[in-house]
Structure 1
Amino acid sequence: MLRLTFMLRRKPSMSREDMQRYWLEEHAALVAGHSRTLGMLRYVQVHTTDDEHEKLPGRRGKMEEPYDGVVEVWWESKAAMIEAVSSDDGRLVDRLLREDEEKFIDLKHSVAWFNYEYPQVNPTPENVVATERSSLLKLYFPLRQLDALTMEEAQWYWRTHHGPVIRRQAHGSGILRYQQVHRDEDQLTEALNVSRGCEVEPYLGHAEVWMDRSSMGNPTPENKLASRRAYEDEAKFIDFARSTMFLAKEHVIIDRR
């Protein structure tokens, strides 16, 4: 299954609250109305919260500013996505969406990429969602690799070494669900960013973690040890200064899986 991640920054003239309101109350209906034309299986808006995100990095030091939200879209396959968006109707819908995006998104400072998921801690069914009314939060961690590593080397280490580190201590960390989402399909990614006028370098991918707010910052010995182990292993492949981290709530607009 192919997935799109589109990290959004709001227009400078808008507050985060106003941007998220327009996105959810106006733009979501436009996407939903044309979702079958674009072949979408699932469409989710991830809205950054008003939590004190500057405290999240901890020992990771100074990181990039959090984004204001994330568009998430799933297709059955790469072929299904290409067939849908390259049709005459698909191209027309894409232009309509782009015109509306310009009303609330600072496209130049936003960035999108296509990717594939690698579940690490995953309940069955996959029904852990950080809805607005629940106490759950989704931690978003878009990351870039150290300069000494290629994309392939960093993703391999992330998947085969870091994944097991987090899985072994998930319970002590309060993790309910954890996925690695690795960037891929670079030609499609480049074409999408060019079409949207995005000038930000795409990330290596992102980690996403679901947890209950009550478990965050819980200074138990297990939590402290898990946090230290995670950081020590992250430092082997992540360039923290070119990565970011923020908390969010999910709005599931379409789910046809």
Structure 2
Amino acid sequence: MLRLTFLIRRKRDLSRADMQRYWLDKHGSLVAGHSRSLGVLRYVQVHTTDDDHSRLPGRRGEMEEPYDGVAEVWWESKDAMVEATRSKEGRQVDRILREDEEHFIDLTRSVAWFNYEYPQVNPTPENIVATERSSLVKLYFPLRHLESLSVEEAQWYWRTHHGPVIRRQAHGSGILRYQQVHRDEPELTAAINSSRGSEIEPYLGHAEVWMDRNSMGNPTPENKAASRRAYEDEANFIDFERSSMFLTKEHVIVDHR
């Protein structure tokens, strides 16, 4: 399954609340109405919360400012996506969506990439969603790798070394679900960013973690030890200053699975 991650920064003249309202009420309906034409399997809006995100990095130090949200789109396969979006109707719909994005997104400061998921802590059925009314939140961690590593080396370490570190301590960390989402399909990624005028370098990928707020407020000794081990291993492949971290809520707009 192919996935698109689109990190969004709002236009400077909009508040986050106004931007998210337009995105959900207006743009979300527009995407939903054209989802079949685009071959979209699933479309989720991930809205950044009003939490104090400056506290999240902890010992990681200074990180990039949080984005205002993330658009997530899934297709059954790369071939299905290419066939649908490059058809005459698909190109027309993309033009309509891009024109509407300009009403609320600062496209030059936003960035997208195509990727594939590598589930790490993944209970079944896969129905954990950090909805607006639940106590669940989804931690978004778009990350860039150390310059001393190639993309392939960093993704290999992330998948084969860091993944097991987190899996072993998931229970003590309060993690309900954890996925690594690795950037891929460089030609498609370059094309979508070019079409939207992005000036931002795509990330290596992102980690996403679902947690319950009730387990975050009063960290246990196990939580603290797990956080320390996670950070120590992250430092082997992540450039923290060029990465970001923020809490979000999910709005499932389309789900044809």
TM-score, reference length from structure 2: 0.99
Mapping of residues 77-116 of structure 1, within 5 Å: 77-116=77-116
Query: Is 1:166 aligned with 2:166?
Result: yes
Query: C-alpha separation between the residues in 2 aligned to 1:219 and 1:239?
Result: 26
SS at match of 1:251: strand
CA distance in 1 between partners of 2:124 and 2:114 (Å): 25
- Aligned AA (2:54): E
Letter in 2 for 1:8: I
List per-residue Cα deviations over 1:8-31 (Å, max 9, x = no partner). 000000000000000000000000
Instruction: Report the 3-state secondary structure (helix = DSSP H, G, I; strand = E; otherwise coil) of the residue aligned with 1:130.
Output: coil
CA distance in 1, matches of 2:202, 2:34: 26
AA at the equivalent of 2:118: Y
How far apart are 1:217 and its partner, in Å? 4.3
Query: In structure 1, what is the equivalent of residue 37 of structure 2?
Result: 37
2-structure distance, mates of 1:146, 1:39: 36
Distance 2:160 2:181 in 1: 14
Q: CA RMSD in A?
A: 0.5
The one-letter code of the counterpart of 1:146 is L
What is the number of residues matched between the two proteins?
Answer: 257
Aligned partners of 2:221, 2:33: CA distance in 1, in Å? 49
Describe the superposition over 1:20-47 as per-residue Cα deviations: whole angstroms up to 9, x where unpaired.
0000000000000000000000000000
| Pairing 1:9-158 to 2, within 5 Å after superposition | 9-158=9-158
| Deviation digits for residues 158-200 of structure 1 (CA, Å, limit 9, x no counterpart) | 0000000000000000000000000000000000000011110
Amino acid of the structure 1 residue aligned with 2:13: S
| Residues 109-134 of structure 1 deviation map (CA, whole Å, 9 limit, x = unaligned) | 00000000000000100000000000
What is the CA distance between 1:215 and its match in structure 2?
Answer: 1.0
Secondary structure (helix, strand or coil) at the match of 1:95 reads helix
User: Is there any run of 5+ residues in structure 1 with no aligned partner, and where?
Assistant: none
1:216, distance to aligned residue in structure 2 (A): 1.3
- Report the TM-score when normalising by structure 1: 0.99
Residue in structure 2 matched with residue 182 of structure 1 by the alignment: 182
In 2, distance between residues paired with 1:219 and 1:213? 11
Tell me, in whole angstroms, the C-alpha distance in 2 between the residues paired with 1:190 and 1:204: 14
Instruction: State the partner residue of 1:218.
Output: 218
> 5+ residue gaps in structure 2?
none
Structure 1 runs of 4+ with >4 Å offset: none
